[in-house]
Chains A and B, each alone.
Chain A
Amino acid sequence: MEVVKKLPISYIYTRMIREEIKKLTKPVTLKIFTSSKNPQESVKMMKVMDIYQEASNELLKIEEYELETNSDLVKKYEIQQAPTILMTNARDQVIIRYLAVPTAAKIQPFVQALMVLTGTPNYYEKVIKENLKKIKPTVIKVLITDYCAYCSTVISICSQFALASEGKLQTSIIDIMAYPDISEHYNATTVPTLIVNEDKKLIGDITAEELLNELIDKTL
Chain B
Amino acid sequence: MFNIDMEGIDPEKTYDLIVLGGGPTAIACAIYAARFALDVLVIGKIFGGLIATTHLVENYPGITSTSGQGLMEMFKEHMNSLSIPYITDEIRSIEQASDHFVLHSFFQKFKAKSVVIATGSERKKLGIPGEEEYAGRGVSYCATCDGPFYKDKTVCVIGGSDSAAKEALFLSQNVKKVYIIYRGEEIRAEPINKKRVEDNHKIEIIYRTNIVEIKGENTVKSVIFDNDTEFEVDGVFIEVGSIPNSDLAKHIGIKTNEKDEIIINRKSETNLPGIFAAGDVADAPFKQAITGVAEGVIAAYSAFDYIKEMNIEY
Residues of A within 8 A of B (CB): 3-7, 12, 16, 19, 23, 105, 108, 112, 115-116, 120-124, 126-127, 145, 147-153, 156-157, 160, 177, 183, 187-191, 193, 201, 203-205, 207-209, 212
Interface segment among B47-55, B253-261, B265-273, B286-294: the answer is B47-55
Count A/B pairs, Cβ under 8 Å: 135
Q: A4-B64, A120-B5, A126-B107 are in contact. List 9 more A-B contacts (CB 8 A).
A: A145-B148, A147-B69, A152-B47, A152-B48, A156-B3, A156-B4, A187-B219, A189-B235, A190-B135
- Contacts A153-B46, A153-B88, A207-B45 hold; do A115 and B145 have CB atoms under 8 A apart? no
Complex Cα distance, B136 from A204, in Å, reads: 8
B61 to chain A, nearest CB (A): 11
Q: 3 closest A-B pairs (Cβ-Cβ)? A: A149-B52, A203-B136, A121-B6
B7 at interface, CB cutoff 8 A: yes
Complex Cα distance, B219 from A16, in Å, reads: 38
B212 at interface, CB cutoff 8 A: no
Residues of B within 8 A of A153 (CB): 22, 45-47, 88
| B6 lies within 8 A of A208 (CB) | no
A175 to chain B, nearest CB (A): 12
B161 at interface, CB cutoff 8 A: no
Please, which residue of chain A has its CB at the minimum distance from the CB of B92?
A209
Residues of B within 8 A of A (CB): 1-7, 9, 22, 45-48, 52-53, 62-66, 68-70, 73, 77, 80, 87-90, 105-108, 135-138, 140-142, 144-146, 148-150, 218-219, 235
Complex Cα distance, B193 from A212, in Å, reads: 42
By CB atoms of chain A within 10 A, which of B108, B138, B149 has the most?
B149
B263 to chain A, nearest CB (A): 27
Residues of B within 8 A of A151 (CB): 145
Residues of B within 8 A of A127 (CB): 106-107
| B107 lies within 8 A of A190 (CB) | no
Contact of B80 among A19, A183, A209 (CB under 8 A): A19
Please, which residue of chain B has its CB at the minimum distance from the CB of A154?
B46
Residues of A within 8 A of B53 (CB): 149
| A123 lies within 8 A of B65 (CB) | no
Residues of A within 8 A of B9 (CB): 123
| A149 lies within 8 A of B142 (CB) | yes
| A112 lies within 8 A of B4 (CB) | yes
